[in-house]
């Protein structure tokens, strides 16, 4: 099971958000978001922030760092190592199964991810045998988009996508390609861009808060 940090639900635990960080970060990086969102206590949201395992990173000369998968090239079509993405997706699915076993139904679970974490999120959610409450894909792109049509198990998904207009790590067009791939496969993702780089900004957090309340309320 992936190690994680968490922000416990205030009051009765009624819903869960599993939030995956980006390259070189840890679950601690997004932990402050749980309080910053100021969600109503009545939603009973527990936040889980897993830590990616350390692995050698090809683009960094083999140096080990926290990563959901290896990056062998910065070329978009080769950036996400498919085997690593699939292995991480299985580990995250184990966390989801644990929440379901604890009594939280899939339609009360949201899977979120930033950058690398978003790649795993967009890979896993359509391929699950059950529908989640929603998916957040932030400043991210897609692994093996051509395989989604054959591998998807969900006909529809509630997807929130956001990207920085000045992102020099994951270019805006990479997020747009992921959005368009989802659209081609029958999904209707919401899509918002912000005047920011590879980060999360205040306006984005406000929109995330509104989306979470609408989804879980």
One of 115, 123, 139, 163 is an active-site residue; which one?
A: 115
Phi then psi dihedrals of residue 116, to 5 deg: -55, -40
- Confirm whether 115 is a catalytic residue: yes
Q: What is the DSSP secondary-structure string of 33-49?
A: HHHHT---GGG-EEEEE
- Confirm whether 13 is a catalytic residue: no
Q: Is the dihedral of CA 163, 169, 170, 173 positive or negative?
A: positive
- Confirm whether 123 is a catalytic residue: no
The tokens describing 17, both together, are: 């958000």
Q: SS3 string of 153-184?
A: CCCCCCEEEEEECCCCCCCHHHHHHHHHHHHH
Which residues form the catalytic set? Answer: 115, 167, 198
């Amino acid at each position: 099971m992936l190690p994680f940090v968490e922000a416990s639900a205030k009051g009765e635990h009624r819903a869960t958000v599993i939030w995956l960080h980006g390259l070189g970060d840890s679950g601690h990086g997004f932990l402050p978001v749980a309080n910053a969102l100021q969600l109503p206590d009545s939603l009973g949201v527990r936040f889980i922030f897993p830590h990616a395992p350390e692995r050698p990173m090809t683009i960094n000369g083999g140096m080990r760092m926290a990563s959901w998968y290896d990056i062998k090239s910065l070329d978009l079509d080769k950036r996400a190592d498919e085997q690593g993405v699939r292995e991480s997706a299985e580990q995250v699915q184990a966390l989801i199964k644990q929440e379901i076993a604890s009594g939280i139904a899939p339609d009360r679970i949201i899977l979120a991810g930033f950058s690398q974490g978003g790649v795993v999120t967009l890979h896993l959610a359509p391929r699950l045998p059950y529908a989640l409450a929603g998916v957040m894909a932030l400043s991210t792109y897609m692994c093996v988009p051509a395989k989604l049509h054959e591998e998807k198990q969900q006909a529809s998904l509630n997807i929130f996508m956001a990207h920085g207009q000045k992102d020099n790590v994951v270019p805006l067009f990479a997020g747009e390609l992921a959005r368009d791939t989802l659209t081609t496969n029958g999904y209707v993702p919401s899509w918002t861009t912000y005047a920011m780089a590879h980060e999360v900004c205040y306006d984005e957090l406000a929109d995330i808060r509104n989306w979470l309340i609408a989804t879980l309320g």
